[in-house]
Structure 1
Amino acid sequence: MKSSCKHMIFVLFLMNIALHSEAQSAAFKALLNTIYDKDFPLVQHTDSVLIQNAILLDTRELEEFEISHLQGAQWVGYNTFTLKNVSHIPKDSLIVVYCSVGARSQDIGKRLKQAGYKNVYNLYGGIFHWVNEEKPIVKDQSLVTDEVHTFNKTWGMWVKKGKKVY
């Protein structure tokens, strides 16, 4: 069986487990372990000093960002991302990238590192984990909201706090 097929079966298995709320946290952690490259640095939601001092880059699509995002985040996109989107950021800046759970942001983070950005971190669990830990999100940079775009209904199962928007 090909590796990508095995990966998909494992993800579907985890999603089935997640339907039972008591196993959701463990299933979410297992999912994240399948996504993350062990060599790419992660930052936890509890590391407020690093996060507050970093340039936050939201790598989700614009319609997701417009629903909500982390305070101060800049939208750079995923499908539309180019290095021109970040050309104004000095390469020695502290940068935290995030998306829904961390897969897209890790991809963009790797592209940033390949382009010479030195201090790039991926936010563990993305905005889903952030919201589940009851950290604030905003709309229009200042209006606090509880709405979070879940990418689609299937991925919405990982959001346990706030209001899901599809």
Structure 2
Amino acid sequence: MRLYLQMKYLFHILISLIFLCGLRGQSEIDKTLRKFNNNNCVPYIAAEGLTRNTQFLLLDTREKVEFEVSHIAKAIWVGNKNFDTDTILAIVPDKNRPIVVYCSIGIRSEKVGEKLLKNGYKEVYNLYGGIFEWKNKGFPVYDSIGQETDRVHAYNRHWGKMLNNATKVYGHKKHNN
């Protein structure tokens, strides 16, 4: 009986450890998004939800050098610092068109999503965990010539800790947007 209780106890500890280890990377993204995205006015969409709906227009809100390393298929680079809603209006005159914005994990894209909503776009989503979570889940990314790649710009070493299923690229910021 004692051996049975010890085995049961060890089993529960093992399950708990597996559960906690599995949540580690996810909780870092959760914690960071909660810290920086205070308003949360742009609803999130999970990577799996994005793969099931091909009607979304994808807007990449990272810096140009990040986009050139890799991006999600069919994404349009729009930047974030000098993001211009008039440019988007020229690209997407239909304000009812579903749009998904993304960046590395979802902070810069939240700000762009807020601007789109304020300018009358009705259906705007922020990709939960950004391109990091997308790649962490094994979905493909493409380089500047359209070839599938394993490389993702990790922004910097601090943020790069949340990217665990790609070759991390660090580089100088060549563009100002």
- Whether TM-score is above 0.5 comes out as yes
Q: Find the structure with the greater CA-based Rg.
A: 2
After TM superposition, give the deviation of residue 139 of structure 1 in Å.
1.0
Partner of 2:147: 143
How many correspondences in the alignment? 145
What is the 5 A alignment of 1:13-52? Answer: 22=21, 23-36=24-37, 37-47=39-49, 48-50=51-53, 52=54
Distance 1:27 1:99 in 2: 16
The sequence identity of aligned pairs, in percent, is 38
Partner of 1:73: 75
Distance 1:126 1:141 in 2: 21
Say which of 81, 84, 99 aligns to 1:82. 84
Partner of 1:92: 96
Distance 1:27 1:105 in 2: 18
Distance 2:27 2:116 in 1: 30
Partner of 1:128: 132
Distance 1:35 1:125 in 2: 13
After TM superposition, give the deviation of residue 123 of structure 1 in Å.
0.3
Distance 1:57 1:141 in 2: 18
1:101 lines up with 2:105 in the alignment: yes
Q: Which amino acid aligns with 1:76?
A: V
Three-state SS of the structure 1 residue aligned to 2:157 is coil
After TM superposition, give the deviation of residue 28 of structure 1 in Å.
2.4
Residue segments in structure 2 that go unaligned for 5+ positions in a row: 1-19, 171-177
Distance 2:30 2:119 in 1: 30
Runs (4+) of structure 1 exceeding 6 A deviation are none
- For residues 105-134 of structure 1, the C-alpha deviation after alignment (integer angstroms, 9 at most, x for no partner) is 010000001111111000000001111111
Three-state SS of the structure 2 residue aligned to 1:164 is strand
Distance 1:40 1:92 in 2: 15
TM-score, normalised to structure 2, is 0.77
Distance 2:113 2:74 in 1: 18
Partner of 1:152: 156
Contact 1:60 1:104 in 2 (8 A): yes
TM-score, normalised to structure 1, is 0.81
After TM superposition, give the deviation of residue 141 of structure 1 in Å.
6.0
Q: CA RMSD in A?
A: 1.6
Partner of 2:13: none
Partner of 2:122: 118
Contact 2:29 2:105 in 1 (8 A): no
